Amino acid sequence: MADFDFDASVRWARFDPQRTLARREDRELPFIDDVVGAGQELLLDTCVYIDGLQGRAPEAVANLLDIRLSNHSTIAIQELMHTAGVLDPRHPGTRMAVRQIGVTINGMQPHRIFAPDTDVLGRAALLAGMLCRLQGYQKDARLRALHDCVLFLQAQKLGFTVLTANVSDFDCLLQLIPTGRALFYRSDD
């Protein structure tokens, strides 16, 4: 395991604005257009899989996934497995949902699955702590913030763009770290 440099990570966090971040207008953010084109490789947020499984992903997402290389994080696998575990086994739809999650995970090409390294995990924990403090996140949102931060920093380190429908949290991350990349879409509800 690589050595983790605590002092370098704390110095890295000098971008702390020490104030709550406001959600920017959609026109200021990178959203998928109806006409998609080639570009950077993607790292998929867990919502992309869930929206796809539930038929809520817009056609532009499917078009984008046809054109760009898609990569997967062990963070998304972890969140999908958590979903499979939390579903009520007595509910009539659970068996099918778990089966679909399994098909999704088993369909990920092993050479396109990436695990975050120690540096990403350490910095993401620091970033998530700052985000929770700045935005006043309560217990329920803290683990989600940590996972989002890991995914965001992992994508940045690998040179990927995060594809997500989670506009509010990833907008905050882009404000804190403008060199990161995210591409947004709205799910069809």
Task: Sketch the domain layout of the chain as residue ranges.
Answer: 37-184
CATH number of 37-184: 3.40.50.1010
**pLDDT 10s digit of each residue in the chain, 189 long?**
457 777 776 666 666 677 777 787 888 888 887 656 778 899 999 999 999 999 999 999 999 999 999 999 999 999 999 999 999 999 999 999 999 999 999 999 999 999 999 999 999 999 999 899 888 888 878 889 999 999 999 999 999 999 999 999 999 999 999 999 999 999 876
- Please answer whether residues 14 and 126 qualify as being in contact, where contact means their C-beta atoms are separated by less than 8 angstroms: no
What tens digit of pLDDT does each residue of 137-156 get? 888 788 899 999 999 999 99
